Structure 1
């Protein structure tokens, strides 16, 4: 598929995924979802990629979510509206319900991150926001629901009463408030956004790639497990890391006082 809605670039172990419809504030239509699915498939398959930056084109918005003009046209032709998750929809599984993606994804947010755009942010592992970023789930005002995970993730990430206030009213949240609630890692002036993102991706790339994947899998899969069960559960990427050359290389490099050379391969 030729990409008309998404830009996908790779450099120095970092993939950059840009939702590229700035004229409509990077609203996501069915074509964009299909293109993004291809990108996420490639991200997972390419062992040279160690980190992903997800962002929106332009300076006005990360993404304002679902393309409502397209939704209105689909409603007019009798296409059934979706509910929770992306089953049966173009681009399934989307990032918001692609629970086995092992690479860390960093959201670079400036401007509006609303509806499905905010839900994408909530699905990322690290979030760096510009001071002008605005977050919100306005679905309740449109007769919709935050079905791409917002209704599930927000109450898990911030206090329940706070989350319900945003979910049930559709009110917006500024970047400072998002930082206070722990929804973003850093908030910086717009002209420092790229420098800050680069600092985080540099840290991700320097880390052992199999360790990163093992930690992400274990941390996310164990969230709902009792602590004792978390220790005894089986984690695919930890099994791979434990048997990898990198598990030996890191310790050897430390004792030899040199930088490690990661391969990301099992022995």
Structure 2
């Protein structure tokens, strides 16, 4: 892993930080590959139940792709860049990631940075946060999920207004549209994220995984099909010890003790 991505594990929570504050946390191919590898490792780590994704400093969550890398003309470096991209599995490309991810957003979340946040389960942001997909202003399109996720997460006409103009929305507008779970003052952001994490960790891990899989696999399908389909994570939960522990703990008026089995 390079210093462009930092991972700090504290008990069941892993904080993944995009660490390029001098570039407003814009991500080049090295950072994208490092993020991909970090997420793969955390997915395989049974001790980690929740991931918080954030950006270093207070200026930006991420300004998206580092466009300076696109301007590199050296053939050898272009070949190395292309090789790194071939090895990347971006969060925005993953149909189903096995663990919940909270985006903790300060400042700007632009382009690919906004797309990263859209791919997370929750977005908690400070009141100075700004979200935008300015790609068409650069002759590009937000193809790492933005053109598809934004119209699924807010009304289509509003999404098209932002997609076709590159216009930004502030934190309160994003909250009003349902893109953001909570907006707080900057000095309360860590506290707010910790609260959401605490509530999530109080739930059974297998139930969380099953819920996420059901939502990801069923959200764009007809309701009848989605409700009658087979979901492997739900089959595992239904046969687990935790599915017995939850009702038993409720009946015995005590906190449940989850084992993840």
TM over 0.5: yes
Q: What residue number does 1:219 align with? A: 215
The whole-number CA distance in structure 1 between the counterparts of 2:112 and 2:65 is 6
SS at match of 1:135: strand
After TM superposition, what 4+ stretches of structure 1 lie above 6 angstroms from structure 2?
none
Measured against aligned partners, the alpha-carbon deviations of 1:66-102 in whole angstroms (never above 9, x if no partner) come to: 011111115x64959x9xxx99825532100111212
Question: Aligned runs of 1:31-110 on 2, under 5 Å?
Answer: 31-73=30-72, 77=75, 79=78, 89-110=85-106
Q: Does 1:30 align with 2:26?
A: no
Distance 1:55 1:210, change over 3 A: same
The alpha carbon displacement at 1:255 in A equals 1.2
Cα shift readout 1:8-34 (whole Å, capped 9, x = no counterpart): 011121110000011111010111111
| Residue of 131, 146, 150 corresponding to 1:150 | 146
Residue pair 2:30, 2:84 contacting (<8 A) in 1 also: no
> Residues 152-231 of structure 1: matches in 2 within 5 Å?
152-231=148-227
Aligned partner of 2:11 in structure 1 is: 12
Instruction: Return the offset for 1:47.
Output: 1.7
Q: Secondary structure at the match of 1:164?
A: helix
Q: 1-side partners of 2:172 and 2:13: how far apart?
A: 28
Q: Map of 1:118-137 to 2, 5 A cutoff?
A: 118-137=114-133
Equivalenced residue count is 259
How far apart are the structure 1 equivalents of 2:18 and 2:91? Answer: 13
Q: Which runs of 5+ in 2 are unaligned?
A: none
Give deviations 1:29-86, integer Å, cap 9, x for gaps. 1111111111111121112211110000000000000011111115x64959x9xxx9
For the residues of structure 2 that align with 1:245 and 1:177, how far apart are their CA atoms? 43
1:172-197: per-residue Cα shift (whole Å, max 9, x none)?
11001100100000100101101000
Describe the superposition over 1:97-148 as per-residue Cα deviations: whole angstroms up to 9, x where unpaired.
Answer: 1112121100000000000000001001000010000000000000011011
CA distance in 1: counterparts of 2:52 and 2:46, whole angstroms: 16
Query: How high is the TM-score relative to the length of structure 2?
Result: 0.95
TM-score by length of 1: 0.93
SS at match of 2:64: coil
Q: Distance in 1 between matches of 2:240 and 2:184?
A: 38
Partner Cα distance (2:7, 2:178) in 1: 29
For structure 1, the residue ranges without an aligned partner over 5 or more in a row are: none
Give yes or no for contact 1:30–1:90 (8 Å, CA) kept in 2.
no
Q: Distance in 2 between matches of 1:42 and 1:17?
A: 12
